[in-house]
């Protein structure tokens, strides 16, 4: 049963590389991380849950930040 969520998460993450806008790419990656978290919950894998919670937070947060063009 949980295998299909892992496959959907993989497909979602892979498809993020087709996104042209950085904000959209990060949001799709955030969605994939949420799917991976669900997969981690179903297989009782705390490292998968925690790692993808961190990734999802960073991906979604950074997708809403204004672009820092030319600033270092």
Of the candidates 21, 20, 19, 16, the residue with the CA atom closest to the CA atom of residue 35: 16
Q: How is residue 29 written in tokens?
A: 């990656």
Q: How is residue 47 written in tokens?
A: 């490292």
Q: How much helix, strand and coil, in percent to the nearest 5, is found in the chain? A: 80, 0, 20
pLDDT for 37: 96
pLDDT for 69: 56
- Global confidence as pTM: 0.83
Distance from CA of residue 15 to its chain's centroid? 11
pLDDT for 64: 82
pLDDT for 65: 79
Task: Give 4-59 pLDDT, tens digit per residue.
Answer: 999 999 999 999 999 999 889 999 999 999 999 999 999 999 999 999 999 999 99
């Amino acid at each position: 049963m949980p295998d299909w969520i892992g496959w959907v998460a993989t497909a979602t993450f892979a498809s993020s590389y087709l996104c042209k806008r950085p904000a959209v790419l990060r949001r799709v990656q955030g969605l994939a991380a949420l799917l991976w978290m669900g997969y981690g919950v179903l297989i009782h894998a705390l490292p998968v849950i925690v790692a993808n919670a961190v990734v999802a937070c960073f991906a979604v947060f950074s997708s809403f930040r204004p672009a820092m063009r030319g600033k270092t």
